[in-house]
Amino acid sequence: MRIILIGPPGAGKGTQAAAVKSRFPVDHISTGDILRENVRAGSPLGIEAKKFMDSGTLVPDALIIEMMRERLAKNSADGFMLDGFPRTVAQAEALDELTKEMSMPLDAAILLEVPDETVVKRLCGRRVCSSCGAIFHVTGNPTAVEGICDVCSEPVVQRDDDREEVIRRRLSVYHRDTAPLAEYYEKSGLLRRVDASGPFDAVKSRLESAGLS
């Protein structure tokens, strides 16, 4: 299975991807996670990407496309689930080329739809483990011990780009640059819309009805 997950920041792409992965043997590839690893490692890509990420804008297409070309070349034959890529029409066109070159056509583009104000509430309360990346929420899914990851006991933190003013910028970038992908994938017959508001389990069952998770 080869699918892409599209949706605004905070739509639950990362959390739902983890649920899908537990049922299907796919490689979960998150561009945000790869970029954050590069930032942590201080690589040239990480240093370049950080200024865009901190300000809530998109990292330039050329950098992202090259990064994904390398990552997809390492992909196992079982398929993949792309989370956070493509985010622009230029990236979608590049992905079409890549999947053609690799003879790995996409099966579906899942659009997780959620209102802006829900996104703001979700992201302001999101906390992420600084070590293993597990995701929590201060009210919706709190850690057992405040500030400490349930999985690996390291501190959980708020991402720099989960501050409200940055979230609002990320949302306007999403509407301008990424939302047009719905039309792009509708034209190719790959688009499946899923209502991503409400609790995790409700969204998970809607994904199941759409053939996933």
Which residues of this chain interact with ligand AMP, rule CB under 6 A? 9, 31-32, 35, 52-53, 56, 58-59, 64, 84-85, 87, 91, 161, 170
Distance CA 123, CA 158 (A): 9
> 45 or 59: whose CB is closer to ligand AMP?
59
Please say if 126 is a catalytic residue. Answer: yes
In sequence order, what are the residues at sequence separation of 6 or more whose Cβ sits closer than 8 angstroms to the Cβ of residue 151? Answer: 129, 132, 134
My answer on whether omega of the bond before 142 falls inside 30° of 0, hence cis, is no
Please say if 159 is a catalytic residue. Answer: yes
The H helix count followed by the E strand count for the chain is 9, 8
> 95 or 146: whose CB is closer to ligand AMP?
95
Query: Minimum distance from CB of 48 to ligand AMP (Å)?
Result: 11
Query: Minimum distance from CB of 86 to ligand AMP (Å)?
Result: 6
3-state DSSP helix/strand/coil % of the chain, to nearest 5: 50, 15, 35
Please say if 176 is a catalytic residue. Answer: no
Please say if 13 is a catalytic residue. Answer: yes
In 3D space, the residue among 204, 212, 7 whose CA is nearest the CA of residue 112 turns out to be: 7
Query: Minimum distance from CB of 173 to ligand AMP (Å)?
Result: 7
Q: Do 157 and 142 touch, CB atoms closer than 8 A?
A: no
Distance CA 143, CA 138 (A): 8
Residue tagged active-site, from 2, 36, 87, 127: 87
Residue tagged active-site, from 36, 127, 170, 206: 170
> 13 or 206: whose CB is closer to ligand AMP?
13
Taking CB positions, which residue lies at the least distance from ligand AMP? 32
> 43 or 205: whose CB is closer to ligand AMP?
43
Distance CA 179, CA 176 (A): 7
Residue tagged active-site, from 2, 36, 122, 126: 126
Query: Minimum distance from CB of 201 to ligand AMP (Å)?
Result: 22
In 3D space, the residue among 178, 161, 92 whose CA is nearest the CA of residue 126 turns out to be: 161
Query: Minimum distance from CB of 161 to ligand AMP (Å)?
Result: 6
Residue tagged active-site, from 13, 122, 127, 206: 13
Distance CA 131, CA 123 (A): 19
> 35 or 134: whose CB is closer to ligand AMP?
35
Catalytic residues: 13, 87, 126, 159, 170
